[in-house]
Amino acid sequence: MKLTRRSLLKGVAAAGAAGAAGAVYRRAEARAKKQPPPDAVAMLFDSTRCIGCRACMEKCKEANDLPPDRVRLDGVPYDAPIDLSGTTKTVIKLYQGSGKTAFMKAQCLHCVDPACVSACMLGALNKREYGVVTYQKNKCVGCRYCQIACAFNVPRFEWNSPAPQIVKCEMCHHRFPEGKGPACAEVCPREAIQFGKLKELRAEAQKRIQDNPWRYHPDVFGDTEVGGTQVLYLSAVPFDKLGLPKVGDEPVPAMGETIQHGIYKGFIAPIALYAVTAYVVVRNVRRGEAEEQEEAARKPGEGEERKP
């Protein structure tokens, strides 16, 4: 009897070890690198061209029907957002330091391999036409895991609404059918924001750096960062000064997805665990019943009051 139990336990342990070994082995497997779609669109923000007029912010609110972020100064309400929020999809921020000033346009970067899309349970956030990361409120339960996942803290939540939505830049994709691009790019007086094809804007960014190397930081943020983004940044100062986090080239969801898909590959491990557990429990229950019958036979009358 003892031997059987021991062998069963060994079986369970072996199955567990095999599963773990498999998971570790698969972790080593590289996750396929995601590519932007061939027709991917993009935005290029050139910080050195921006003069901070904030016309883009105003136009964004108009194009996306967003209410103002009211700040009261001297009794007068102004629309003066200082950060992204449930009512603001883009913000111009100013960096001043070490003798240089630089403007930054905060907005969704439309990652090629977005963490929010990986996190979203029902695909409310998804990469749709032209690789734009868009939001569908009817598939959103409001769990806010996208906010945990995004390395750039882009998705915002309508905290004081009984029917809240996730708010983020969707590149004005609702204007695409009219043949229009993002409102901010359209209104920018200095062409600091440009909208176009990803391939062309990547080349354009490189060209600007090559033509005026003294003017720019040598890197284009978004070329390789977090697996590439469809919003590219050019700047005179290091990008972390603009509030962009220091990130590597690996896509943000890569580690989590690799580990989870390793453990759950083909759903084999869960099915095996279920089958082994059910088998062991059936054996144990039967053995318990057999023992009880033996005992009942030995001591007639007493067995009935005992619990099986």
Partner 1 sequence: MSDVARPLGGRIFTPGFVVLLALAGVSGVLILVRVFGGVGSITAMTDGYPWGIWKPLNVVTFTGVAAGAYGIGLLCYVLNRGKYHPLVRPAVLVGALGYSLAGFSVLVDLGRWWNAWKLGEFWYFNLNSVLLEVAICVLTYVGVLWVEVTPAILESWQSSRSSRLRRVAAKGLPFMKKAFPFIIALAILLPTMHQSSLGSLYLVAIYKLHPLWLTPLLPLLFLLSCLTMGYGGVIIMDTLLAVAYPTYRRDVKLSASVSKVAAAMLWVYVAIRVADLAWHSRLGLLFTSGWKSFFFWLEIALFVIPALLLGNPHRRRDPGILFRAALLTVMGGSLYRFDTYLVGYDPGPGWSYFPSVNELLVSIGLASAGIAVFVFAAKKFPILSAGPAHGVRKPAQSTP
Residues that bind partner 1 (CB under 8 A): 5, 9, 12, 27, 84-85, 115, 117-123, 137-145, 147-149, 151, 153, 155-165, 245-247, 252-253, 255-257, 259-261, 263-264, 270, 273-275, 277-278, 280-282, 284-285, 287-288, 305-308
Q: Give CA–CA dist 139/166, Å, rounded.
A: 11
Residue 299 neighbours by CB under 8 Å, 6+ apart: none
Closest distance between partner 1 and the C-beta of residue 301, in Å?
15
**For residues 17 and 203, which CB has a smaller minimum distance to partner 1 in the complex?**
17
Closest distance between partner 1 and the C-beta of residue 172, in Å?
22
Closest distance between partner 1 and the C-beta of residue 208, in Å?
28
**For residues 140 and 220, which CB has a smaller minimum distance to partner 1 in the complex?**
140
Q: Give CA–CA dist 25/19, Å, rounded.
A: 10
Structure tokens at 102: 């630089």
**For residues 145 and 176, which CB has a smaller minimum distance to partner 1 in the complex?**
145
Neighbours of 158 (CB within 10 A): 15
**For residues 187 and 280, which CB has a smaller minimum distance to partner 1 in the complex?**
280
Closest distance between partner 1 and the C-beta of residue 52, in Å?
20
- Helix, strand, coil % in the chain, rounded to nearest 5: 45, 15, 40
**For residues 94 and 281, which CB has a smaller minimum distance to partner 1 in the complex?**
281
Closest distance between partner 1 and the C-beta of residue 77, in Å?
21
Contact at 8 Å (CB) between 36 and 195? no
Q: Give CA–CA dist 87/96, Å, rounded.
A: 26
Structure tokens at 294: 């033996």
Q: Give CA–CA dist 272/270, Å, rounded.
A: 5
Q: Residue 111 gets which letter from DSSP?
A: B
Closest distance between partner 1 and the C-beta of residue 137, in Å?
7
Closest distance between partner 1 and the C-beta of residue 134, in Å?
14
Q: Give CA–CA dist 261/64, Å, rounded.
A: 37
Cα atoms found within 13 Å of the Cα of residue 171, Cβ hemisphere only: 28
Ramachandran quadrant class, 45 (left: phi over 0; alpha: psi -120 to 50; beta: rest): beta
Contact at 8 Å (CB) between 111 and 127? no
Is 215 strand, coil or helix? coil
**For residues 35 and 284, which CB has a smaller minimum distance to partner 1 in the complex?**
284
**For residues 263 and 296, which CB has a smaller minimum distance to partner 1 in the complex?**
263
**For residues 4 and 101, which CB has a smaller minimum distance to partner 1 in the complex?**
4
Q: Give CA–CA dist 170/122, Å, rounded.
A: 18
Query: How many helices (DSSP H) and strands (DSSP E) are in the chain?
Result: 8, 11
Closest distance between partner 1 and the C-beta of residue 234, in Å?
22
